[in-house]
Amino acid sequence: MSSMKWPDAIDSYLRDQRQYGRINSENTTRAYRSTLLLHAEDTPDGPVEAGREDIKRTLARWETPNTQTRAHSVMMSFYDWLCMEGHRETNPARQVRKAKRRTPSVYRLTRQETQALIEACETVRERRVILLGLCTGARNGELHQFQGRHFSREGYVWFSPDITKGKTERWTPVLPELEPVVADIRATVPSDHYVIASYRRGGGERDPTYPTNRVTIGRIVKAVARRAGIAANVYPHMLRHAYGDHIAKHAGLRAAQALMGHASVQTTASVYVDRPDLDELSSSVRGLRYTSDAPRLTLARGDESAARWEAEAEIALSAYLRY
C-alpha cells in the first residue's frame, strides 16, 4: 500500500470517522482536513512513508502549544486509522512528545455582571439571546439554530441532536429568569420557525424561516455588554460559562455534566468545579483586612507603666518595619 496518495487517504479516513460517529459536524471535518492537508505538504512521500520528523515539521507551523496539541491529536488519530487499516505498522505521531498545554485565560462573569446583562437588554431579540445563553448554557451554534419546536415541552428547553455538538440530545429545565422569554417564544414562534430570525435581504423585516448567523449573535452580546458597563470583551460562549459556574455549584457535578452536554464528567469538573469562581473568591475573603478598626487604648493620666509599655511596643514595631 506504499502507493497510497494523500487525497485518497484523507478522504477515506474522514469518511470512516463520520460513519462510526467519531466526527459529527462539518466544522470538525473541515478542521481535520485542514490540518491533514498541511501535514501532506510536509510529507511529499505520502502517508505510508511518513516519519516522526515529518510530524515535528508540521507541528512547528504553530507557535502556541495548545494549537500544537490539537493538531497532534488529529495526526495521531489519522495514523492510528492507517495502522488499523493495515497500511502501516507504526504510528509516527505517537513517537513525538506532546506539547505541554497551557490553561487558557478565560474572563468569567460574576453574578453582578450577569444581572447587569439581563437588565441592559432592550429588545425581544436581545432578551432571547442573553437569557437563553445565561439560563440554558447554549453554545453560539445552538443559539442561532433554536426553533419553536425546541420549546414545545412545557418547563424545558430541548437541545435536539441536529443542533448540538456531538449530536447528543439534552434537556434543560427553564429557570425562573427565563420563564417570560420562553412563554413569549411558545406564544409567537411556530414549530418550524427560528427563535432568533435573520433579516430579509434588502429589507428591514426578519425572515423567521432562516436563522441569524453566529457573527450577528456575537454582535448582539457585545452591544448589550457595553450597555451594561462591562469593560471586558464579552462574547457568546461567556454566557455558557456563566451558566456552568452557576449550575455546577448548585446542582452538583453529575447534573451539571448532563445540563452542559459534556461527554466526560472530567470536563465539567476541571472547568467548573475544581477551581473557585470569582464570587466564591470574594466571599472567602470578605471581612479580611490588614488593619484593625479597634479603637486605640486611652491612657489615664499618671498611668506611667501603660505609657511605657505602649512606647516600647511602638519602638519594636518601627524596628520590624525597617527590617
**Rounded to the nearest 5°, which phi and psi values hold at 61?**
-65, -25
Place of cell 511605657: 308
Output the nine-digit C-alpha cell for 119: 437588565
User: What single-letter amino acid sits at 268?
Assistant: T
Residues 5, 37: contact at Cβ < 8 Å? no
Q: What is the pLDDT of residue 166?
A: 80
- Parts of the chain with a pLDDT under 70: 1-2, 104, 200-204, 274, 292-323
Facing residues of 173 across strands?
Answer: 156
Instruction: Give the C-alpha separation, 173 to 156, whole Å.
Output: 4
Q: What is the pLDDT of residue 135?
A: 95
Q: Which CATH architecture has domain 111-282?
A: Orthogonal Bundle (1.10)
Q: What is the pLDDT of residue 266?
A: 80
Output the nine-digit C-alpha cell for 171: 434537556
Q: How many CB atoms lie within 10 A of CB 223?
A: 15
Sequence ranges of the domains in the chain? 6-95, 111-282
Q: What is the pLDDT of residue 269?
A: 80
Does the CA dihedral 190-192-195-200 come out positive or negative?
Answer: negative
Q: What is the pLDDT of residue 1?
A: 43
User: What single-letter amino acid sits at 1?
Assistant: M
Q: What is the pLDDT of residue 279?
A: 79
Instruction: Give the C-alpha separation, 235 to 102, whole Å.
Output: 21
Instruction: Give the C-alpha separation, 237 to 214, whole Å.
Output: 11
Indicate the pTM of the whole model. Answer: 0.70
Nearest to 12 by CA among 31, 32, 26, 27: 32
Q: Could you give the 3-state DSSP secondary structure of residue 194?
A: strand
- Regarding the domain with residue range 6-95, which homologous superfamily does it belong to in the CATH classification? Tyrosine recombinase, N-terminal domain (1.10.150.130)
